[in-house]
Structure 1
Amino acid sequence: MKNTTVLVSGAGIAGPALAFWLARYGCTVTVVERAPALRTGGQAVDFKGETHRTVLSRMGILDDVRALQTGGHDQTIIDAAGRPLAVIPGEFSGGELEIRRGDLTGLLYERTANDCEYLFGDSVTSLTDTPGGVHVTFAGAAPRTFDLVIGADGMHSNVRRLAFGPERDHLRFLGHYYALVELGVDGDAVMYNEPGRMAALGGPKGPVLFVFASPELRYDRYDPEAQKDVLRAAYRGGSWRIPELMARLDDATDVYLDSISRTEVPAYAKGRVALLGDSAYGNTLGGFGTGLAIVGAYVLAGELRAAAGDHRAAFAAYESAFRGYAKVARQGTAGPFLAPGSRPRMAMRNWMFRSPWMLRLLLKATDKFATGIDLKDYR
């Protein structure tokens, strides 16, 4: 693999994690990211189980993640008067190790910045797969040819669109939207539901998470004001603190709204182009995206090394090793769970968290999904 040139699209979690291993194995790695800089803040992400710990340990960052962990907290489900109805334990929502997404991306960037080239504020505009490499044009940088291109650029993957076809063919809308907004709201970590919509405070000064049922919408995903308008329409007439939260939107500068969707691709690779993380097996708010990204990066890089540069063999081995593990991304949807469509369904969801045996069953299931792969030691 030495001197193999690889372009990785996306500087979130999956991209830098892959860059870490590829650089260690002797590749020349370029990471391109549409955003002008690393994204800070964001929601908490988590790791759970031996598989996740093993990969973080082999990367040498397990102790760093532990030092930055938020210490996952319980979240109380309340009614409009603030009365508690049930408690979602931190071990369910935050896994074994919970860390702010921005802290994790910062940590991965620090471990790769000296060994990889980062192109911020740029994006891929075309991919031409040839026998000798992939010719790539960029919105800003000069064209180049790379031995391999990896799309680690999320649910709305640009690389997937260019190499595999239109987004509508590979992204399944699941009937809900979510928004994460920094509103500077004081208060405990609580979740409030009305049929088909949810608002949850992330603790003192933490981000507010909104989830709501909706037909598929048309709006500019890069226009914060358009996203605010969608939220105002979705939460019109709400009780509890919803009027206050909507009023605070006027001054919010950090707004992210997107559909709850699932990535469905027939294969993870095509020619010299492969997909990693949410671009290949994402399920919005499914609870396993970060673990899949970290483990997927380890497996993909490891198979490339094991195949000694034969990308066809490596991509086939990656698919074979990982497709079964990634099946968790096809299990259920977060929308109906977080924002049940009726009051009876809300009551049933709340009962699940009040039932000790049901809670044990849920926790056991998440542990099984997180550890369901036989890890090779590619080192």
Structure 2
Amino acid sequence: MKTVLVSGGGIAGSVLAYWLRHHGFAPTVVERAPGRRPGGQAVDIRGVALEVVQQMGLLEEAQRMRTRMRGMSILDPDGHEVERSTEATFSSGRLDGEDIEVLREDLVEMVYEHTRAGVEHLFGDSITALDEGGTGVRVDFAHGPSRTFDLVVGADGLHSTVRRLAFGPEERFAHHLGSYLSVFSADNFLALEDWQLWLRDGDAGFGIMPVRDNTELRIAFGFGSAPLPDGLRDRDALRQLVVDKLASLRWEGARLAEAARKAPDFSCDAMAQIRMDHWSRGRVTLLADAGYCPSPLSGQGTSLALVGAHVLADCLARAAGDHHVAYARYERRMRPFVTLNQALATENPGEPASEESVAHAKNALSLHG
């Protein structure tokens, strides 16, 4: 039984672990965080990704977890409504469509509960070195003892450690898209009821949606910026930057700034894409954001993670674990799909991609290919 180390316990890593176990591999998931990460924005399961969830037997559960929005209002910088829709929202698309919007943490928890009995999880640890030999990859960990695995998969996000160790510095592959996105939670101080608010003020703006039966707000705040200097990239500096920018907004700036200051699940990162000529090197390969992050601007990061995990595991199974054959087939099948979905992020700068483009991109792969 071939052993596979998966770095990253998010959506991509958890779904890959499920499919690897399904196909008879022995997956181990290493996750830097001490447990499943809370917080994060609502994410979309679209097109062929719905088929992945259905094949996992999780579609009905995902549908029960989905957000239940009635619509959205678009506000001017002073908070006055200039447009509204009861047919679609910017976060999820058409409200009467088949696609599913769920909170990221709910999807991760659902998949984890579905896989934990047969998958080894190493929480609170991370990879520090990879040394490939003739029969496997020796992996050094920050805390646990070194171990050797047949294969290693980096599913560890935009700032992937596996990518850095196997392919080189992030700067070679990251393409900044001109903005940053912060996501955090707050009490529902706006008394929203299944209704989203979207506002743009200069080069900054936000989307606010109520979750957890309208008891909580999930706030996504974006602002235009060139890549920040190293001194502004740590969590505390980013938080202060976001607080200051929120405080300058004309509508609800003070309360939003205070919410960002206090939020235990605060996050902020660059809107960037990862573009690589190859996702594999030797026994190591990359999955989802680690290899082909489309950025949240595409709306397709979760679907790429779900589909990529299924395809990678399927390719390994068909090749009987021969990573040379499997990784080449994985890249051939996934690259056209990735290219179309990454293009959604840049089709209409500052605005969502067209419905036609999304519909084409989200279905542009067959799981049976």
Asked if Structure 1 and Structure 2 have the same fold, meaning a TM-score greater than 0.5 normalized by the shorter chain, the answer is: yes
Match of 2:3 in 1: 5
Secondary structure in 2 matching 1:93: coil
Alignment of 1:212-227 (within 5 A): 212-218=223-229, 224-227=235-238
State the Cα distance separating 1:207 from its structure 2 match: 1.5
Instruction: Say if 2:198 is the partner of 1:195.
Output: no
Secondary structure in 2 matching 1:108: helix
Do the aligned partners of 2:243 and 2:258 also contact (CA within 8 Å) in 1?
Answer: no
State the Cα distance separating 1:228 from its structure 2 match: 1.8
For residue 129 of structure 2, what is the amino acid of its counterpart? Answer: S
Alignment of 1:50-65 (within 5 A): 51-65=48-62
Secondary structure in 1 matching 2:187: coil
Match of 1:252 in 2: 263
How has the CA–CA distance of structure 1 residues 373 and 134 changed in structure 2, closer, same or farther, with 3 Å as cutoff?
Answer: same
Secondary structure in 1 matching 2:223: strand
How has the CA–CA distance of structure 1 residues 73 and 120 changed in structure 2, closer, same or farther, with 3 Å as cutoff?
Answer: farther
Q: Tell me how far apart the structure 1 counterparts of residues 90 and 40 of structure 2 sit (CA, whole Å).
A: 19
Q: Tell me how far apart the structure 2 counterparts of residues 272 and 73 of structure 1 sit (CA, whole Å).
A: 48
Do the aligned partners of 1:41 and 1:102 also contact (CA within 8 Å) in 2?
Answer: yes
How has the CA–CA distance of structure 1 residues 181 and 228 changed in structure 2, closer, same or farther, with 3 Å as cutoff?
Answer: same
Q: CA offsets per residue over residues 240-263 of structure 1, 9 Å max, x none?
A: 111221133332222101000000
Q: CA offsets per residue over residues 173-213 of structure 1, 9 Å max, x none?
A: 11111100112243332111111100222224221111001
How has the CA–CA distance of structure 1 residues 137 and 275 changed in structure 2, closer, same or farther, with 3 Å as cutoff?
Answer: same
Instruction: Say if 2:45 is the partner of 1:38.
Output: no
Instruction: Say if 2:157 is the partner of 1:157.
Output: no
Equivalent residue for 1:283, pick from 286, 294, 298: 294
Q: TM-score, normalised by structure 2?
A: 0.90
Match of 2:96 in 1: none
Match of 1:262 in 2: 273
Q: Tell me how far apart the structure 1 counterparts of residues 228 and 258 of structure 2 sit (CA, whole Å).
A: 22
Equivalenced residue count is 354
Do the aligned partners of 2:49 and 2:307 also contact (CA within 8 Å) in 1?
Answer: yes
Instruction: Say if 2:289 is the partner of 1:296.
Output: no
Q: Tell me how far apart the structure 2 counterparts of residues 75 and 305 of structure 1 sit (CA, whole Å).
A: 44
Alignment of 1:16-35 (within 5 A): 16-35=14-33
State the Cα distance separating 1:320 from its structure 2 match: 0.4
RMSD between aligned residues: 2.1
Query: Which stretch has the larger CA shift, 204-213 or 285-294?
Result: 204-213
Q: TM-score, normalised by structure 1?
A: 0.88
State the Cα distance separating 1:72 from its structure 2 match: 4.3
More strand by share: 2
Secondary structure in 1 matching 2:186: coil
Do the aligned partners of 1:46 and 1:290 also contact (CA within 8 Å) in 2?
Answer: yes
Match of 1:137 in 2: 140
For residue 276 of structure 2, what is the amino acid of its counterpart? Answer: V
Q: CA offsets per residue over residues 278-334 of structure 1, 9 Å max, x none?
A: 111112212001111111111100010000111100000000011001113431537
Q: Tell me how far apart the structure 2 counterparts of residues 221 and 317 of structure 1 sit (CA, whole Å).
A: 40
